[in-house]
Structure formats: structure tokens, C-alpha cells
Amino acid sequence: MATRAELSEFLASAERRAFKHAVFAVRDDEAALDLVQDAMFKLAEKYADKPPAELPLLFQRILRNLITDHFRRQKVRNLWTTLLSSLLPESDEDSDRDPLETLDAQGTGEAAESAADQAERGQIMAIIEAEIRKLPARQREAFLMRYWEDMDVAETAAAMGCSEGSVKTHCSRANHALAAALKARGITL
Amino acid sequence: MNELEFTRQVRRHLEASTERLPYKVTHRLEQARTAALARVPAEQTVLSAAPSGALSLSGSGHDGPSLWKKALLSALPLLILVAGLIAIAEWSDMEQADETADIDAAMLEDDVPLSAYADRGFGVFIKNTGQ
């Protein structure tokens, strides 16, 4: 049984990666934060009595189910929005918006690293993330669980609800697609 | 570069990206974690905090009333209600018995014999006399 300290330690170690997973899937920071928070709540409420070794797999499964639910709800919401917006008159509010206003300012600290290196690393990071985001959902999930969460094939298959063979196929395809996409953009890791 | 090395490099970049999350995000994650830990069921916190082998329903009551006391307190109003209903039923039976005893005593002490009350002619006589 996981103690409170063990659960806290697990959540602290997994929360950032979980956030990234959710962002890759839903492409919205706020929604991703809500999903991670809900996953944490569910884990704490329902599965805190499980052994610490089982927590990563359970957390991944919960998060994955919540992401699926999110897309289901979004689908229904989009249907209603489309229906309602077709009934409302068009507004030209969006035409006044300056896209530059929405750009986030990058962090300005970290003087230890040279600005050029930092910028280059940031660019590579952004490109990798963008390419991961472009992967088909199943490939992305398998790739992240297997190579980022350090889950083995069996655990990944259990979390994704598919066979081990499918996991291997998804991972292989994701690897090749990612490598090809990065090469096409002139990035060598 | 082989596949393993490639995934290792991607992983390194992903790890680095989690270190550069904005404060708004890390703060919110921290808050979510704290809130989640507060939602761990209470009994589980007590059980996990207790030393192994000491997981029993003890009535020592070091941290408030024990489960037994709580159960007893919540059942108390029901017990009082049941006791009250039994008392009312008993009292009602005694009242009825007293009334019957009074009637019996009055009939036995009367000058008219008991068999007269069963006689139809006597009933008619009483009725006519009363008029």
C-alpha cells in the first residue's frame, strides 16, 4: 500500500510529464492542466491503497481515459456550437485581433547559458514537440509511454488496452515518422 | 544513429522541456497535487500511518470518539423511541385492565345477580323503567 509520502513523491515526479502528454493530445494548456488535476484526484481517491509500483500504470490509464472523455465531450460541444453559431449573425470581432498580442514572451533568465545555445535548444525542443504532436494519437501514446515513461511493452499494452504486438508496431512507426520528420527539417539529434 | 540512441535523444529533449515549463503551469500542478493528497480517504491515511500489525478497531479514542462510540451515539435516538413506544403500549394495557376490573367489581357488588343482565326481559324492564 502506498503511503501518503510515496503518493506525493510519485505525483511530483509524474506531473510534468503527464501535463506534456495531455498538452500533446488536447493542444490546450488549461484543458491539459484540468485533465492532469482530475487524474491526480482520481488516483488519490480510488487507488491510493495500491502498491507504489502500480501507480505509474494506473495514472497513465486514468489520464488516457480522461483525455478520451475530453474528446467525446468536445465533439458534442462542437456539434452544438456549430448548430448555434449557424443561427447567430456573424461578428467581425476577430478581424481586429492582432496575432502578435497572443505570443507568449519566452523566459529571459538563465544567464549562465549562452543566448545562442539556449535559442537553438529551444528551437529543437519546439520542433520535436510539434512533430510529436503531429503523430497519430495511438502512435504518440505508445511512443511516449514506452520511451518517456519507461513502461515496458506489456505495461504500455495494458495502459492502452491493446495487444503487445500493436504497441511494438505503433512505437516503430512513431520512431520512423519522427526521425523522417526531423530529418526533413534539417535536425540531427 | 540507431533507434535506441534516437529515442534517448528525443527523451532528453522532452525532459529538458519539462524543466522549462512556465511558473503558472508548475504552480498549478503543485496545487493540484496538494489538493489530490487531501482527497486520499481518511481511513487509509490512518491505516497507513499506523504501525504494521496494529490495524484494528480499537476503542482507545486518542483522536476523538471511536467507531463504536459513534455508532452507539447515532443509534441512541432510535433506542429511546423504541423504549417510549413499549412504555406507551404497556401503560395503555394497564389502563384497559383497570377499566375492565372496575366494571367487573361494580357488577359483582350490585344487588342484581349477574344472570339477570343476560336475561332479555330484564333488559326491556330496565329500558321501560328508565323512560
List, for residues A6-16, the tens digit of each pLDDT value.
Answer: 899 999 999 99
B73 in the same domain as B24: no
Tally of domains in chain B? 2
B72 in the same domain as B41: no
Mean pLDDT for chain A? 83
Indicate where chain A has its CATH 1.10.1740 domain(s). 1-85
Distance from CA of B73 to the nearest CA of A (A): 28
Q: Which range of residues forms the domain containing residue B10?
A: 1-49
Q: How many CB atoms lie within 10 A of CB A126?
A: 12
Which chain A residues are Cβ-neighbours of B41 within 8 angstroms?
45, 48
Please give the grid coordinates belonging to residue B63.
Answer: 483522536
pLDDT at A103 over 70: no
B126 in the same domain as B70: yes
- With CA atoms as reference, report the closest residue to A32 among A40, A41, A24: A24
Residue A99 is predicted with a pLDDT of 52
Q: How many CB atoms lie within 10 A of CB A60?
A: 25
Residue B61 lies in a domain: no
Residue contact A4–B18, C-beta within 8 A: no
The CA distance from A33 to A48, in Å, is 21
pLDDT at B22 over 80: yes
Residue B105 is predicted with a pLDDT of 86
Residue B92 is predicted with a pLDDT of 93
Chain A residues whose C-beta sits inside 8 Å of any chain B C-beta: 1-4, 7-8, 11-12, 15-17, 19-20, 29, 33, 36-37, 40-41, 43-45, 48-49, 104, 107, 121-122, 124-125, 128-129, 132, 147-148, 175, 178-179, 188-189
Residue A115 is predicted with a pLDDT of 73
In chain A, what percentage of residues exceed pLDDT 70? 86
CATH class of this structure's domain A118-189? mainly alpha
pLDDT at B115 over 70: yes
B21 in the same domain as B71: no
Residue A40 is predicted with a pLDDT of 94
The CA distance from A10 to A59, in Å, is 10
Tell me the whole-structure pTM to 2 decimals: 0.59
- Mean pLDDT across the stretch B93-116? 85
Distance from CA of B13 to the nearest CA of A (A): 6
B74 in the same domain as B40: no
Check CB contact of B35 with chain A, cutoff 8 Å.
yes
pLDDT at B30 over 90: yes
Residue B56 lies in a domain: no
Residue B96 lies in a domain: yes
Residue B43 is predicted with a pLDDT of 66
- CATH architecture, domain defined by A1-85: Orthogonal Bundle (1.10)
B82 in the same domain as B40: no
Q: How does residue A91 score in pLDDT terms, banded at 50, 70 and 90?
A: low
Which chain A residues are Cβ-neighbours of B36 within 8 angstroms?
11, 37, 40-41, 43-44
Residue with the bigger pLDDT between A188 and A29: it is A29
Tens digits of per-residue pLDDT, A16-67?
A: 999 998 998 888 899 999 999 999 999 999 988 888 888 999 999 999 999 9
> ipTM beyond 0.85?
no
- Mean pLDDT across the stretch B66-84? 89
Indicate where chain A has its CATH 1.10.10.10 domain(s). 118-189
- Mean pLDDT across the stretch B86-96? 94
B78 in the same domain as B123: yes
Indicate the range of A99-103, A126-130, B82-86, B92-96 predicted with least confidence.
A99-103
Q: Which residues of B49-63 are buried (b: 16+ CB within 10 A; e: fewer)?
A: eeeeeeeeeeeeeee
pLDDT at B57 over 70: no
Residue B57 lies in a domain: no
Residue A170 burial (10 A CB sphere; 0-12, 13-18, 19+):
buried
B131 in the same domain as B71: yes
Decide: A55 and A10 in contact? Cβ < 8 Å.
yes
Residue B110 is predicted with a pLDDT of 79
Residue B58 lies in a domain: no
- Mean pLDDT across the stretch B92-117? 85
B76 in the same domain as B131: yes
Residue contact A3–B28, C-beta within 8 A: no
